[in-house]
Amino acid sequence: METCARPTTWGVAPSHLSVSLEAIQSNTALMLGMCRTPVMAVVKAGGFGMGAVRAARAALAGGASELGVATCSEAIELRRAGITAPILAWVLHEDAPIAEALSCGIRLAPSSPAQVRHIAAVAAQQQVIAELELEVETGMHRSGCPQTHWQELFRAAADADSVQVLGLWTHLAGTISEHFDEPLECLAEAAALAERSGLRPRLHAAASVAATVDPRTRLDLVRLGASLFGIEPVRDRPLGLNAVARWETRVSQVRDVAVGEVVGYDRVVLDHPSRLALLPVGYADGILVAQRWPMAAG
């Protein structure tokens, strides 16, 4: 177990998060065994708060063959840490550090013809071949190239000497097999169009939920995030994933408060005598509490 503790001036932090890298490794191995398809370990957002570099290394040790992140900056951080596995970055905002990403051998996921042409121009200037995974929209309406621009997207990629298209992919929305019928058909249509443009990409679509409930979605690769971090894709059908994180704190004060007293900034009026515990946690401690917990009777 590794511990991430918020530093304090009085020594040991009262609240801390313990992260099990062994659990990430074992969860990766479990999902790989179930899917029987290569696994891309998604470690975006700082490894979902667990530490991107150490989470990436644990997932690779568990059998993941490549990594996925949102931004180029996240990918570059992994490279600078000495990680050599393939890394895909898929959020290419306007001022994304494309040149630095290409110099680090990062794979990119353009979702428009303009992005393909921009990457191709940067790669040509650097005299490198940019490896691309083209993202297409298949019904989620969150990201990906709209169907009306597919032909132009594939043509731009096929015509550029400085890019190599490795993959074609999409995001899936839904939790049951019926939800995936239309997106999978749409992706197959995109793949056929890409092949007519001279491209031969691998296909991937599934994240943790889809990969668990519908084997059709596993295709050539699965992109797994939540399941590697111990979140069961289907709660009523657990796979036996191991918990990755444990948050602990210490009670700093306890007091008994009578019925009718007013408590807290929200001025909650107690309807029964209560014993209240004060926990040193909140936004000032780097942890947001999004839910008001019910007060227990004393």
**Residues with active-site annotation:** 44, 265
82: its two tokens: 């000495």
Measured in degrees and rounded to the nearest 5, phi and psi for residue 186 equal -65, -40
Number of other residues whose CB lies within 10 A of the CB of residue 298? 12
- Spatial separation of the C-alpha atoms in residues 72 and 94, rounded to whole Å: 12
Residue with tokens 């621009």: 149
Q: Which of 35, 58, 36 is nearest to 48 (CA)?
A: 58
Mention every residue, 6+ apart, whose C-beta is less than 8 A from residue 151: 193, 197
Amino acid at 92: L
- Spatial separation of the C-alpha atoms in residues 121 and 119, rounded to whole Å: 5
CB 34 within 8 A of CB 212: yes
According to DSSP, the β-strands at 2-5 and 16-19 are: antiparallel
Q: Strands (DSSP E) along the chain, which ranges?
A: 2-5, 16-19, 39-42, 66-69, 87-89, 107-108, 130-135, 163-169, 202-204, 222-224, 245-248, 253-257, 262-263, 268-269, 274-278
